[in-house]
Amino acid sequence: MKNLSTIFFILIICGCGNIESKVSQNLNQKFNIDSLINCFKNINVGDVGYHPSYSSKEKFYPIDSGKYIQPMVWGEKGAIYEAPESFMPLFYVIANGWKSLPFLFKHLNDTTPTAYEIKHRLAIGGIFYYNLYDFNGLTQTDTSLRNTVNDKSIKTLFNAIISNPDEQRHKKYIVRVADICFVAIGQIMNRNFSCVRYQPSAIIVINSPLIKPELKSILLHEMRNMTQVKHIEWLLNDFKNPDYPWRQVEAFKRLKYYYPNEIEKLINSEFKYIADSLNKEIKIIKF
């Protein structure tokens, strides 16, 4: 019954169409991941995971899923928008998978500002700082970890990171390289790590490992010693033990993209119905 409900959910979100991915042949070449991450400072527009209207669970960067629903923001209309073109250095870092993780971990302290500045112009609401961490509630049962984060109390923060007067007044935020790395780790690990998101009404939430260091601490506790084998196990756990349907769908996308040999095993397992359905919906096209 659980599998059938998930299949129904998939058909809704995928619109019964194919999800295609355009993957460069260069992905098989060796990357200089540090150099690519250093390019993050050139980001000057928002995208899924670092945009006040989008959520990172709406897009796995290496897969172009077409159109998305933009939530209604105060003073704006909800809209259907085309998936934005990914910033290519970020695309390649995510496409490189678990091998990128050590470099991304190292840059979680990187205070270098990007060229992307978020402003809050309304008289109500503001820019608030949370410490939201996405756990799979069925696979991470350590309450001591879970109690450390996800505190939604609003606290004014003045420190060396937030030194700009407009940022201190909660009217502006400049996205940092560490924030983009946080998003990239979530993309690779199937976690909804958004460093910027919208919250009704007229609130922009900043979820930064620079401002809330407990985010980095828990992330490293869970993921620091990640290997290819552990990454496969992590994604399989998400697929087999999802705390909500989207977790399972997104885990399958990553398994098919990073580890296509695992898909046949799932199709021949007790999860064959859901795996076969997803396999038909999600297509990875290389050229």
Q: Decide which of 8 and 271 is more confident.
A: 271
| Amino acid code (one letter) for 258 | Y
3-state DSSP of 235-285: HHHHHHCCCCHHHHHHHHHHHHHHCCHHHHHHHCCCCHHHHHHHHHHECCE
Last residue of a domain, one of 194, 226, 258: 226
Q: Is residue 148 part of a domain?
A: yes
Assess whether pLDDT exceeds 70 at residue 221. Answer: yes
pLDDT of residue 129: 85
Residues 6 or more apart whose Cβ sits within 8 Å of residue 31: 92, 93, 96, 100
Residues 47 and 67 in one domain: yes
Q: What is the pLDDT of residues 2-44, one digit of tens each?
A: 444 444 344 333 433 344 444 443 444 446 999 999 999 999 9
Winning range, highest mean pLDDT, from 78-82, 139-143, 268-272: 268-272
Check if the beta carbon of residue 243 is closer than 8 Å to that of residue 136.
Answer: yes
Buried b (16+ CB within 10 A) or exposed e, 112-136: eebebebebeeeebebbbbbbbbbb
> What is the β-pairing status of strands 79-82 and 126-129?
unpaired
Assess whether pLDDT exceeds 70 at residue 214. Answer: yes
pLDDT of residue 202: 76
Residues 211 and 74 in one domain: yes
The domain in which residue 278 lies consists of: 1-30+239-287
Residues 106 and 6 in one domain: no
pLDDT of residue 33: 94
pLDDT of residue 55: 54
Q: Is residue 254 part of a domain?
A: yes
Q: Is residue 21 part of a domain?
A: yes
Residues 57 and 135 in one domain: yes
Question: Cα separation of 93 and 37, whole Å?
Answer: 8
Q: Is residue 233 part of a domain?
A: no
Residues 206 and 120 in one domain: yes
- List alpha helices for 57-189, DSSP H: 88-95, 101-106, 143-146, 165-168, 177-189
**% of the chain exceeding 70 in pLDDT:** 70
Residues 159 and 197 in one domain: yes
Residues 175 and 53 in one domain: yes
Q: Is residue 234 part of a domain?
A: no
Residues 112 and 55 in one domain: yes
Question: Cα separation of 280 and 161, whole Å?
Answer: 46
Specify the number of domains making up the chain: 2
Average pLDDT over residues 230-257: 95
Average pLDDT over residues 124-132: 81
pLDDT of residue 153: 52
Residues 187 and 284 in one domain: no
Residue position matching structure tokens 């898909």? 263
Residues 171 and 182 in one domain: yes
Assess whether pLDDT exceeds 50 at residue 84. Answer: yes
Q: Is residue 232 part of a domain?
A: no
pLDDT of residue 281: 87
Check if the beta carbon of residue 190 is closer than 8 Å to that of residue 238.
Answer: yes
Question: Cα separation of 38 and 13, whole Å?
Answer: 34
Residues 189 and 134 in one domain: yes
Token code pair at residue 130: 């949370």
pLDDT of residue 27: 43
CB atoms within 10 A of CB 271: 19
pLDDT of residue 220: 95
Residues 141 and 127 in one domain: yes
Q: Is 80 exposed, middle or buried (0-12, 13-18, 19+ CB in 10 A)?
A: exposed
Assess whether pLDDT exceeds 70 at residue 270. Answer: yes
Residue 96 dihedral angles phi and psi, to the nearest 5°: -75, -10
Check if the beta carbon of residue 206 is closer than 8 Å to that of residue 173.
Answer: yes
pLDDT of residue 114: 95
Looking at residue 81, the DSSP 8-state letter turns out to be E
Q: pLDDT confidence of 51, banded at 50, 70, 90?
A: confident
Q: Is residue 205 part of a domain?
A: yes
